[in-house]
């Protein structure tokens, strides 16, 4: 399975037509069609359904698309690292992180390193702990920032605990009866329709605060990005469980945030894969993070 053919396959999957993909790739349609048929023969599976107007992927084709995107991204990342200039530190750094005000440290670190080395470029990807660790394992991310306890295997990853903490609470409408409270007790959340991230409720810390099984909560919806959850809250769908300082709440906003009591706080870890061979740019960035945060 050649790298070039995988790029052909991805182009057809994206364009959904042989003609559109051929034009994008600057190859002839017969050449592209033959390459795709050879690919299907080599894997022994039908990857595409060739309809009258567009091409759709089979289940096997969708699986190959996901893997091919990872392979192509890793190859391009490797090529860029190998092609970096020896005289100046250049390159790309890939970081996965969740949503948190604590990520402001990352923005400050990026500004500092780009002031000294403007040819270093950063690529930030949002995701939960499992998504981030999976991409670090595959080499698609250099670093990750996880909410504790988010490291699945401390034998596999090195990490620095960052000197920041955020607090859990609920986002709600200002005209909701619960908004009259300054803080929320565990009893306040029972039977309420809750919108939460996929991982937020399945921690021993939250279970201890709740003093009950989190699976018994009335979780009606889940979210990956908080902005989408705020829309649901605005429409009165439910209450969004989230970290403080994330939602853009001002005087004109119909929403407000109320923290849990007793305070339910989380810390953050900056992680990377053990024995990782870094590019010069990534190594420079990691050393800067170590100097600034390991001593605190």
Per-residue pLDDT at 76: 74
Give tens-digit pLDDT for 37-92.
Answer: 888 888 888 888 887 778 888 888 888 888 888 887 777 777 766 666 555 678 88
The residue from 37, 62, 82 where one domain ends is 82
Least confident window among 24-28, 202-206, 221-225, 251-255: 202-206
For residue 30, pLDDT beyond 60: yes
The number of distinct structural domains making up the chain is 3
Same structural domain, 54 and 128? no
Same structural domain, 178 and 158? no
Per-residue pLDDT at 175: 95
Range of the domain at 55: 3-82
Angle at alpha carbon of residue 258, lines to 266 and 107, rounded to 5°: 50
Q: Is 184 helix (H, G, I), strand (E, B) or coil?
A: strand
The residue from 52, 82, 112 where one domain ends is 82
pLDDT > 90: what percent of the chain? 28
Same structural domain, 45 and 112? no
For residue 286, pLDDT beyond 60: yes
**CA–CA distance, 246 with 32 (Å, rounded to integer):** 47
Confidence label for 144 from pLDDT (cuts 50, 70 and 90): very high
Least confident window among 30-34, 98-102, 206-210: 98-102
Same structural domain, 189 and 42? no
Same structural domain, 115 and 226? no
Least confident window among 72-81, 117-126, 160-169: 72-81
For residue 257, pLDDT beyond 70: yes
In this prediction, residues 114-141 reach a mean pLDDT of 88
Same structural domain, 151 and 187? no
What does the mean pLDDT of the chain come to?
Answer: 86
Same structural domain, 136 and 182? no
Confidence label for 101 from pLDDT (cuts 50, 70 and 90): confident
Same structural domain, 203 and 248? yes
Same structural domain, 126 and 206? no
Number of residues that this document lists for the chain: 296
DSSP state of 178: G
Confidence label for 199 from pLDDT (cuts 50, 70 and 90): low
Confidence label for 178 from pLDDT (cuts 50, 70 and 90): very high
Least confident window among 82-91, 208-217, 231-240, 275-284: 82-91
Same structural domain, 198 and 257? yes
Same structural domain, 173 and 106? no
Structure tokens of 248? 């853009």
Confidence label for 295 from pLDDT (cuts 50, 70 and 90): low
Structure tokens of 42? 């080599």
Same structural domain, 44 and 112? no
Per-residue pLDDT at 37: 87
165 contacts: CB under 8 Å, gap ≥ 6: 102, 265, 266, 267, 268
For residue 293, pLDDT beyond 90: no
The residue from 28, 58, 82 where one domain ends is 82
CATH code for the domain of 54: 1.10.10.10
**CA–CA distance, 129 with 127 (Å, rounded to integer):** 7
CATH code for the domain of 195: 3.40.190.10
Per-residue pLDDT at 83: 65
**CA–CA distance, 253 with 249 (Å, rounded to integer):** 6
Per-residue pLDDT at 177: 94
In this prediction, residues 100-108 reach a mean pLDDT of 85
pLDDT > 70: what percent of the chain? 93
């Amino acid at each position: 399975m050649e790298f070039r053919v995988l790029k052909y396959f991805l182009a057809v999957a994206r364009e959904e037509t042989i003609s559109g993909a051929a034009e994008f790739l600057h190859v002839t349609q017969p050449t592209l069609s033959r390459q795709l048929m050879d690919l299907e023969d080599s894997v022994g599976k039908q990857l595409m359904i060739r309809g009258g107007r567009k091409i759709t992927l089979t289940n096997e084709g969708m699986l190959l698309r996901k893997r091919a995107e990872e392979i192509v991204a890793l190859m391009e990342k490797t090529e860029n690292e190998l092609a970096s200039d020896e005289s100046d530190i250049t390159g790309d750094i890939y970081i996965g992180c969740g949503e948190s005000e604590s990520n402001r440290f990352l923005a400050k670190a990026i500004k500092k390193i780009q002031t000294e080395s403007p040819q270093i470029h950063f690529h930030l990807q949002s995701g939960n702990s499992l998504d981030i660790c999976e991409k670090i394992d595959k080499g698609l991310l250099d670093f990750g920032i996880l909410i504790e306890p988010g490291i699945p295997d401390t034998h596999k990853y090195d990490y620095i605990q960052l000197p920041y903490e955020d607090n859990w609470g609920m986002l709600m409408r200002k005209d909701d009866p619960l908004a009259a409270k300054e803080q929320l007790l565990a009893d306040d959340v029972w039977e309420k329709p809750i919108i939460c991230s996929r991982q937020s409720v399945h921690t021993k810390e939250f279970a201890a605060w709740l003093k009950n099984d989190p699976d018994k909560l009335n979780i009606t919806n889940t979210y990956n990005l908080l902005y989408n959850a705020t829309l649901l809250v605005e429409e009165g769908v439910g209450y969004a469980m989230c970290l403080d300082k994330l939602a853009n709440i001002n005087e004109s906003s119909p929403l407000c945030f109320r923290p849990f009591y007793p305070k339910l706080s989380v810390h953050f870890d900056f992680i990377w894969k053990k024995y990782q061979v870094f590019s010069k740019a990534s190594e420079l960035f990691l050393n800067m993070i170590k100097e600034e945060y390991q001593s605190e």
